[in-house]
Chains A and B, each alone.
Chain A
Amino acid sequence: MRMEKYLRSMVMWHIYVGLLAISVGVIFGLLQVLSRSGIYVLPPNIYYQGLTLHGVLNAVVFTTFFIVGFLYVITETTLKEKLNKGLVYLSFFTMLIGTLLAGISILTNKATVLYTFYPPLKASPMFYIGATLLIVGSWIAVLNTSLTFLRWRRNNPGQKTPGPMVAVISIYTVWMLATIGVAIEVLFFLIPWSLGIVKSINPELARTLFWWFGHPLVYFWLLPAYLAWYYILPKVAGGKLYSEVAARIVFIMFIVFSTPVGLHHQYSDPGITNVWKGVHAFFTFMVALPSFITAFTIAASLEYAARKNGGNGLFSWWKKLPWGNYFFAYMISAMIAFIFGGISGIVNASYNMNQVVHNTSWVPGHFHLTVGSAVFLTFLGLSLYLANKLTGKKIFNEKLGTLSAYLWLIGVLIFSWGMMQLGRAGIPRRTNLGLAPYMTPEERIFMIIAAVGGIIMFISAVLFLINFVGTLLNKKEKEVELVEIDYADAYYKETNLSPIWDNWKVWIGIAILLIIINYTPVFYDVFRATYFVEGGYSPFSPLPMK
């Protein structure tokens, strides 16, 4: 596929901004773990400012920029249709301005509200406006992609949507449905409140709107990783995607089930009836199903590759996978971490068991395995891959890439084990434990273990950045005109596919219906049982100050 020079350059700029964000974000990650373990204790204001930077830069800025850039490549290379150049620029600069506004607010300590920005913690209006622009910029990218897809449909009547594009549609649908919640929260409540136009805020309403967005946000991060695992990894490993239909069903299931699940983050919140928390718990298990299908389908795809490479036995075929390939190393490390991230997530989602781990160190232990590894490592591997494909420059050192990937996996397994053990003991998250007098010596040991893991992760991230910058400094091997992404063939192809599996209106309609069914009674509960407060909450009492 001939990809215009401007787009190749713009995709790389999306990656540069994302990687610049994590370059700062991982430093604060290291400081967090050093402070919590008591090795290097940060003052409280710096601790929470750093925690906000760590969350916003790594989990929001890096992911959003990377995903938008990556999906441009997937859209053009699968549809063979051009994106709108003006919209690509408009989207990028809107997101960039938003990021700068939010970043300046956090760096000047005017938005130390963590990445969940729960009121009554209040940030400067610049932070909320910046976050809004970041999201609006991504909406422009969705508009651009949608227009391109609709043009492809008009030009190719009767053709089914190509597999990787199914993933793109799923990712952007999840994103659009999710961001409705946070858009209402920020535009109608947080911005007027922070500007002083309205005096009061309803924290429970804001939390409910946030988690309407906050959980499907996880799938916005995760599904581009699934896209790479399904459609690129099998070919890099030397095999085929085991089942094209399974991949399509998985991405459609995410459209349907991603959003009506937010209450599993609010099991402990007052004012919402148990029935609806239970319903959201049920749908959370439904959204785990496509991940189980993914585990099997990707394993089968890799097994096919390994057996073609001489692998045999029930388990020993694993040895014949290309463990020394940098791209494979990033992807397989991401997936191994996700095995543990998956089960820890199922524990979180299990209604009564959530009470054991709720708001404890278990939670960051869990999401460093999911977004902090499954997503992060996949995106790092793809960053090197795209740098090679889009600039024509050789990877600086493939072995360094492989080493970095496995080092992160080792680090995160140690880090998360330490954090989860602390969580099981009831040690809280988002707390500067280096200053806490209530930690026992046994618990301090687990905190040190987590710190050792965190240091290894930091070293891995530095090695990645050296490799990435080294790649950019390499001389061009060839002039890039055709961008060839290694899309895998399917072993079981989609034949006689029912039109329903390519009818996006149906699936998006069902998703909207489920959101209405699952959230209408919840908002009724919230408005009935909670109220707007002026003074916010005191940290010394769970009751609102009136």
Chain B
Amino acid sequence: MKGEERFIPKGAIAFFIAMILLYAIMWFSIYFLLIIYRGG
């Protein structure tokens, strides 16, 4: 890192947030299926 321009992984942070959003959508799609199965 010495002598290098400071690197802030903004793209990786954006990717991580996008991945968490995708995970939330997929997780809730099964969660709502569970609710439907239970007659909710």
Contacts and interface: CB of A to CB of B under 8 A. Distances in A.
A303 B13 CA distance: 10
Given A299-B9, A491-B7, A355 B27 contact: no
Given A299-B16, A343-B23, A355 B34 contact: yes
Interface string B1-40: 1001001011111111001001100110011011001000
A303 B11 contact: yes
A504 B10 CA distance: 34
A295 B31 contact: no
Contacts of A353: 27, 30-31, 34
A295 B9 contact: no
Contacts, number: 72
Interface string A477-504: 0000000000000011100000000000
Interface string A302-316: 111011000101110
Binding site secondary structure of chain A? helix
Contact of B26 (A311, A315, A347): A347
Contact of A295 (B11, B16, B30): B16
B30 to A, nearest CB: 5
Nearest to B26: A343
A317 interface: yes
B12 A343 contact: no
A346 interface: yes
Contact of B34 (A304, A311, A356, A491): A356
A350 interface: yes
Nearest to A426: B37
A243 to B, nearest CB: 10
Interface residues on A, range: 20 to 34
B12 A296 contact: yes
A304 B7 contact: yes
A296 B34 contact: no
Contacts of B10: 303, 314
Contacts of A347: 26-27, 30
Contacts of B4: 491
A307 B16 contact: no
A42 interface: no
B19 to A, nearest CB: 6
Given A303-B9, A491-B1, A424 B30 contact: yes
Contact of A242 (B9, B14, B34, B37): B9
Contacts of A315: 11, 14-15
Interface in A230-258: 242
A266 interface: no
A300 B31 contact: no
Nearest to B1: A491
A352 interface: yes
Nearest to B37: A356
A424 B4 CA distance: 50
A350 B27 contact: yes
Contacts of B1: 491-493
A377 to B, nearest CB: 19
Interface string A287-303: 00000100110011011
A493 B2 CA distance: 10
Nearest to B23: A343
A294 to B, nearest CB: 11
A314 B23 contact: no
A288 B19 CA distance: 14
B30 A357 contact: yes
A296 B19 CA distance: 10
A339 B33 contact: no
Most buried by B among A300, A315, A317, A344: A300
Contacts of A306: 11
Contacts of A346: 23, 27
Interface in A304-341: 304, 306-307, 311, 313-315, 317-318, 339
Nearest to A491: B1
A242 B9 CA distance: 9
Contact of A300 (B12, B19, B33): B12
A343 B12 CA distance: 18
Contacts of A314: 10-11, 14
Contacts of B14: 314-315
Interface string A177-206: 000000000000000000000000000000
Contacts of A303: 9-12
B23 to A, nearest CB: 5
Interface of B: 1, 4, 7, 9-16, 19, 22-23, 26-27, 30-31, 33-34, 37
Complex A-B, nearest 4 residue pairs according to Cβ-Cβ distance, in ascending order: A300-B9, A299-B12, A300-B12, A303-B11
Given A295-B16, A303-B9, A315-B14, 7 more contacts: A292-B16, A299-B9, A299-B11, A347-B26, A347-B27, A353-B30, A491-B1
